[in-house]
Amino acid sequence: MTTPPTISESDLLAFIEDAPMSPDTARAVERAFQADPALAARCRARRRDRLALQRLTAAERAPAGAVARALAAAGSQRDVLARVTPAAAPNAAPVVHTIPVSRIGPVAEPWWHAAIHSPRLRPALAAAAVVAIVAGVGVLLYGAVSGRPQPPKPIASGNTPTQPQPGPAPTPVPVIADSTPGVTPPVPSPTPSDATPTVVAVAPAEQELTDDRLLELARSGRLAVRLNAPDAEQALRLLRVMQTRSRVLAVAPLSGIERSMILADLGQQRAIAQAAAAPAAPAPAAGLSPNGEPILAADGKPLLRSPVPSPAPVPVPSVPEPVFAEQAYVVHIPADAEALRQVLRWLSVDTSARTVSAAFVPLERSAVGGVAPAADAADVLWWTGPTSTWSPRITVPVIIQTSP
Amino acid sequence: MAAEVVPSDHSDPSGPPPDPASDDGHASDASPDDRPLLDRIAQGDQTAWGPLLERHQDRLFAMCLRLVGSRGAGREVAADLLHDSLVKIIQGIDSFDGSAKFSTWATRVVMNTCLSHLRAQKHRQHASLDDTSPSSGGSQSGNMSPITIDSARAAAPSGASLSREPATVSGVQSTEEARRLALALDALDVEQRTILVLRDVRELEYEQIAHLLGVPEGTVKSRLFRARAALREMIERLPARLPDDADP
């Protein structure tokens, strides 16, 4: 009784991949195929699959310019880091991209350093800190538990306010019983609590956006791009095209609180700009209510009192004009000014039919991180590797606004 | 009488993963001109990058394309991954110590980039099939799900890849075979697809693949055998006639 031929997966794999086999192995495989035609069919099919996959692969070609784009992207990142200008002449000496090592001199020990590290003073300082903390907590708790009411504001005699005053109590003013109109008591100097609240977010000064300024704003997350387009679809098409550019590392939609913060900032800036162009509202006359009627005291006599003094008219937008931003995106690009300028050029289209304009908009506060968020462990630990692997990136939000 | 096939022992007598220092030149991936270019780069000559990368870019792009799949926007994704990989290769050249071949090291960079992308996208090829339950793997044929017309249409490679058929392969039959092959490859799980790509696309030797994956050479052969079986089975499970519309 003949035993069935025994072959291993390695033998079959060698057959499938046309690998060299010993004569004995080749004969064993052939006998196995004769004994099991199904096995032979499967192995021959897998061999055809391998050849077909190799043919499929041989036809593939990398996108044109892939190497050039990669070199440009890698070179710009390296130059930004090392601040080395590449040699212009082809036969110039090769540029060595190294970062100069800074010299750190010895630092004199401060006078308090010895005190806090003294074995005798350290326990005393620690005890004093504990006592101070406990005392502070005790004061806070005492104030909260006792719930002592606030002392009432002093009210001048004969002065009965006709309307409840919102917010902090106004500065007491002298009352003139004489109904002579036009008598205006001396106006006390305005207190900070009486001052009309001004807009906190003031539009940044209109300074020229130099390359250094652009980079500074972008690194701190205070630079955005406002993209004005006839319709959102065209703007999105431009963004998709920009995604294919070599200097653009990624384009992603922006949402959540970051988007809200940027839109609020842009709305504030627009409202401030419009309010500044509007004429200032006239101040109300003395002794008159806002609707022009004289203010009467409890005894029916006109109560002449100066209005709450206000400083010089300041544009106060009650509600920021809504920004018709339909979509917001963030663009991750290398941290250099040229990449920033290129983004603007790529997003600006001026044709006879349509015009899409893009402009840098400095933000008052940082909405997105100036440095691109980490995508993987390598991004987080980039600083632990050699300097040649450092790749700083910046994130710039792009706000699409459509013209109604 | 069926032949008895002895499966490869995973605890291969060949021992632990090979020493990277033993990764010398091989005929199938021989690039004897890489060394002079690498020496120029080491000396600071940045002009050597162009010819070095252009020599490997096609294979590396094919590797990206086969790993992430050619369906839908796969070619664009593969182009982006190739760009990212090339930038990492350029910027990380200092970490290349020369103990292995440059092509092997570059393949590792591309493979890690693609696998990171797949992990980030939570790409699961089995989700494209009828079986919507999460699959733990695909090395065994019993875990594969039937492929229907709809899933085949969704996983069909993009039309752009079909237009790049080699000049030597002509006719509708060859095109159909290429589509089935690409579709079946996309449907494999990441592990099987990776080892097939390393072997057939990148044409690496067993020891090079073993070094990249960090497994013994015997394990590489075993996985490769099973991956080929899975690919063949996936092709046979495809519908007899694929839809003409290759776009998902």
- Residue B80 maps to which CATH number? 1.10.1740.10
In a domain, A224, yes or no: yes
Give the distance between the most distant pair of CA atoms in chain B.
65
Q: Between residues B147 and A297, which one has the greater pLDDT?
A: A297
In a domain, B117, yes or no: yes
With a cut of 80, say whether residue A328 has pLDDT above it: yes
Test mutation, B200, B202, B219, chain A, max A CBs within 10 A: B200
Q: Which of A9, A33, A60 is closest, CB to CB, to B225?
A: A9
In a domain, A190, yes or no: no
Cα separation, A14 vs A29, in Å, equals 10
In a domain, B189, yes or no: yes
Range of the domain at A46: 9-55
In a domain, A21, yes or no: yes
Q: Between residues A367 and B8, which one has the greater pLDDT?
A: A367
Q: Which of B5, B62, B116 is closest, CB to CB, to A8?
A: B5
To the nearest whole angstrom, how far is the Cα of A55 from the nearest Cα of chain B?
7
Cβ–Cβ < 8 Å for A225, A370: no
Q: Which of A55, A58, A66 is closest, CB to CB, to B57?
A: A66
Burial of A124 (0-12, 13-18, 19+ CB in 10 A): exposed
Cα separation, A266 vs A263, in Å, equals 5
Q: Name the β-bridge partners of A325.
A: A401
CB contact under 8 A, B91 and A95: no
With a cut of 60, say whether residue A251 has pLDDT above it: yes
pLDDT tens for chain B, residues 1 to 248? 555 566 654 444 444 444 444 444 333 444 567 889 988 988 888 888 999 999 999 999 999 999 988 777 788 899 999 999 999 999 888 888 888 889 889 999 999 999 888 888 764 544 444 444 444 444 334 434 444 444 444 444 444 333 344 444 455 557 788 888 888 998 898 899 999 999 998 889 999 999 888 899 999 999 999 999 999 999 998 887 776 654 33
Mean pLDDT confidence for A388-402: 73
Cβ–Cβ < 8 Å for B48, B30: no
**pLDDT value at position B139?**
39
Mean pLDDT confidence for A182-203: 42
In a domain, A137, yes or no: no
What strand order describes the sheet that includes A349-350? Answer: A250-253, A325-334, A393-402, A223-229, A355-362, A349-350
Q: Between residues A322 and B118, which one has the greater pLDDT?
A: B118
In a domain, B13, yes or no: no
**pLDDT value at position B195?**
94
Q: How many CB atoms lie within 10 A of CB A401?
A: 18
In a domain, B92, yes or no: yes
Range of the domain at B78: 32-237
In a domain, A95, yes or no: no
In a domain, B17, yes or no: no
In a domain, A259, yes or no: yes
With a cut of 90, say whether residue A88 has pLDDT above it: no
Closest CA relative to residue B90, chosen from A76, A86, A338, A394: A76
Helix, strand, coil percent values for chain A (each to nearest 5): 40, 15, 50
Cα separation, B117 vs B228, in Å, equals 24
- Token match 């506060």: residue? A365
CA separation (Å) from B177 to A268, A280, B228? 61, 78, 16
CB contact under 8 A, A375 and B224: no
Looking at the structure of chain B, the number of domains it has is: 1
Looking at the structure of chain A, the number of domains it has is: 2
In a domain, B96, yes or no: yes
Q: Between residues A124 and A197, which one has the greater pLDDT?
A: A124
Contacts of A225 (CB under 8 A, 6+ apart): A331, A343, A344, A347, A358, A359, A360, A361, A396, A397, A398, A399
Test mutation, B87, B183, B236, chain A, max A CBs within 10 A: B87
Q: Which of A94, A376, A388 is closest, CB to CB, to B45?
A: A94
Rounded to two decimals, the pTM is: 0.43
CB contact under 8 A, A388 and B94: yes
Confidence band, pLDDT 50/70/90 cuts, at residue A371: very low
In a domain, B6, yes or no: no
